Amino acid sequence: MIGEFMEMIQIKQQKEVFYRYVNKEGNVVSLRAIGTPLIGENGDVEQVLITANVNIIQHEKRPKMISVPM
C-alpha cells in the first residue's frame, strides 16, 4: 500500500487502493483506502489526506457433523 501512495505523491493525483485478506480467525477483511495529495501554492505536495473503510465479514463456524451408528 505504501508504494501506491508514494506513486500518488509523485504523480500528484488521487489514488484508490483495495486489499482483501483472510485473518487468522478465518474472517474476510476488506480495506478500501483513498489518498488525496494536498498541493501547496508552489505546486509541491505539502500534505496527504487518506481515508479508509474496513469491512470484516465474520466466518461462521458450522457445527461438526457426527456419525451415529444405525
Domains of the chain, each with CATH number or no CATH: 2-57 (2.10.70)
Could you tell me the CA-to-CA distances from 33 to 46, 51, 65 in Å, in that order?
19, 6, 41
Give me the pLDDT at residue 26, please: 86
Please check the confidence at residue 60 and state whether its pLDDT lies above 80: no
Is the C-alpha dihedral spanning 18, 22, 25, 26 positive or negative?
Answer: positive
Distance CA 46, CA 34 (A): 17
Give me the pLDDT at residue 18, please: 93
> In this predicted model, which residue has the larger pLDDT, 37 or 62?
37
Strand partners, 50: 35
Give me the pLDDT at residue 36, please: 94
Read off the pLDDT of residues 4-50 as tens digits, 9 standing for 90 and up. Answer: 888 888 999 999 999 999 988 888 999 999 999 999 999 999 999 99
Give me the pLDDT at residue 65, please: 65
Q: Is 31 exposed, middle or buried (0-12, 13-18, 19+ CB in 10 A)?
A: middle
